[in-house]
């Protein structure tokens, strides 16, 4: 029985980010019926059930030597997660990445390590496929146009001496499968994504661009999916106010005409 073909329905993705320090989620989360609010594995599962399209776990552990904790955390989180799962933070070598994949991650996110050693992008892509490599970029432009946005590394503490638009082009050429673009100007402000910068990046590469930094309300997501031309948007704190947050956000965006995986 044939029905008419559906129209192009690739949905815009809503990605929940968990910032993890020494095996614990650091931002307060208020899911109901949560046994352990700081447990990344349980939180990841809750976000997935609430309707998040993807989970990113970022290890922000300041001290080195916590790698075993991270791998164990990833393993526990991956066990009950059946949506795409990305892990970032402290991945410096192909071996680091292999350990994270072995623990159950689908993608790794590399940031400073890719800037320091751009060949790492290709090494991971050759072994695990481009779809498994997300290059994360912290960009800052102040009042300058997007073309002048600069790349920062080491958690935003140091300028890398590269322009964002040059770096995304290189990252794509080297085999990156997605770009995770964080606006340092907007991060933590709740004032909305940097749509101009996001659109400039999306116009430079053909791989998907995930916007991050500045999400405060549903309108901000609507803007970054339309004017910002983002393929996905990532946020942490906005989802940390209960299981209904993702549902309400997706419903609002769908009502506004943005294709969403909703209901799911």
DSSP string across the chain: ---PPPPP-PPPEEEEEEEEETTEE-S----TT-S-TT-HHHHHHHHHHHT-SEEEEEE--SSSS-HHHHHHHHHHHHHT--S-EEEESS--SHHHHHHHHHTT-SEEEESHHHHH-THHHHHHHHHH-GGGEEEEEEEE-TTS-GGG-EEEETTTTEEEEEEHHHHHHHHHHTT-SEEEEEETTTTTT-S---HHHHHHHHTT-SS-EEEES---SHHHHHHHHHTT--SEEEESGGGTT-THHHHHHHHHHHHTT-------
Tell me the window of 4-12, 16-24, 144-152, 182-190 that interacts with other proteins (CB under 8 A): 4-12
Catalytic residue among 96, 138, 185, 231: 138
Q: What is the DSSP string of 192-215?
A: ---HHHHHHHHTT-SS-EEEES--
Applying the rule CB under 8 A, the residues between 98 and 157 that interact with other proteins are 101-102, 104, 106, 127-132
Q: How far is the CB of 261 from other proteins (least distance, A)?
A: 4
Total residues at the site for other proteins (CB under 8 A)? 39
End-to-end Cα spacing for the chain: 25
- Encoding tokens for residue 196? 């101009």
Position 65 contacts other proteins (CB under 8 A):
no
We find the least distance from the C-beta atom of residue 61 to other proteins, in angstroms, to be: 23
In the annotation, is 19 catalytic? yes
Residue 187 is among the residues annotated as catalytic for this protein? no
Site string for other proteins, 187-206 (x = CB under 8 A): -------------------x
Cβ of residue 124: shortest distance to other proteins, in angstroms? 11
Q: Which is nearer to other proteins, 101 or 239 (by Cβ)? A: 101
* Residue 207 is a binding residue for other proteins (CB under 8 A): yes
**62, 82, 142, 161: which one binds other proteins (CB under 8 A):** 82
Which of 79, 244 has the CB closer to other proteins? 79
In terms of CB distance, is 81 or 222 closer to other proteins?
81
- Smallest gap, in angstroms, from Cβ of residue 188 to other proteins? 27
Binding site for other proteins (CB under 8 A): 1-3, 5-13, 48, 53, 78-80, 82-84, 101-102, 104, 106, 127-132, 177-178, 206-208, 231-232, 261, 264
Provide the annotated active-site residues.
19, 138
């Amino acid at each position: 029985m044939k029905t008419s073909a559906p129209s192009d329905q690739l949905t815009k993705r809503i990605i929940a980010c968990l910032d993890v320090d020494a095996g614990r989620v650091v931002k307060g989360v208020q899911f109901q019926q949560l046994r352990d609010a700081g447990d990344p594995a349980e939180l990841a599962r809750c976000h997935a059930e609430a309707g998040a399209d993807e989970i990113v776990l970022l290890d922000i552990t300041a001290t080195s030597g916590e790698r075993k904790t991270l791998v164990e955390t990833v393993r526990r989180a991956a066990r009950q997660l059946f949506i795409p799962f990305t892990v970032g933070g402290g991945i410096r070598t192909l071996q680091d990445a292999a350990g994270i994949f072995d623990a159950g991650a689908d993608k790794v996110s590399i940031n400073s390590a890719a800037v320091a050693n751009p060949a790492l992008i290709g090494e991971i892509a050759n072994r695990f496929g481009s779809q498994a490599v997300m290059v994360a970029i912290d960009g800052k432009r102040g009042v300058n146009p997007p073309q002048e946005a600069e790349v920062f590394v080491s958690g935003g503490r140091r300028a890398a001496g590269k322009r964002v638009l040059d770096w995304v082009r290189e990252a794509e050429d080297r085999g990156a499968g997605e770009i995770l673009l964080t606006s340092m100007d907007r991060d933590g402000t709740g004032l909305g994504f940097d749509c101009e910068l996001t659109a400039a990046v999306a116009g430079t590469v053909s791989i998907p661009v995930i916007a991050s930094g500045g999400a405060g309300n549903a309108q901000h997501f609507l803007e970054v999916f339309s004017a910002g031309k983002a393929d996905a948007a990532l946020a942490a704190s906005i989802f940390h106010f209960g299981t209904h947050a993702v549902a309400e956000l997706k419903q609002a965006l769908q009502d506004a005409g943005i294709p969403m995986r909703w209901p799911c």
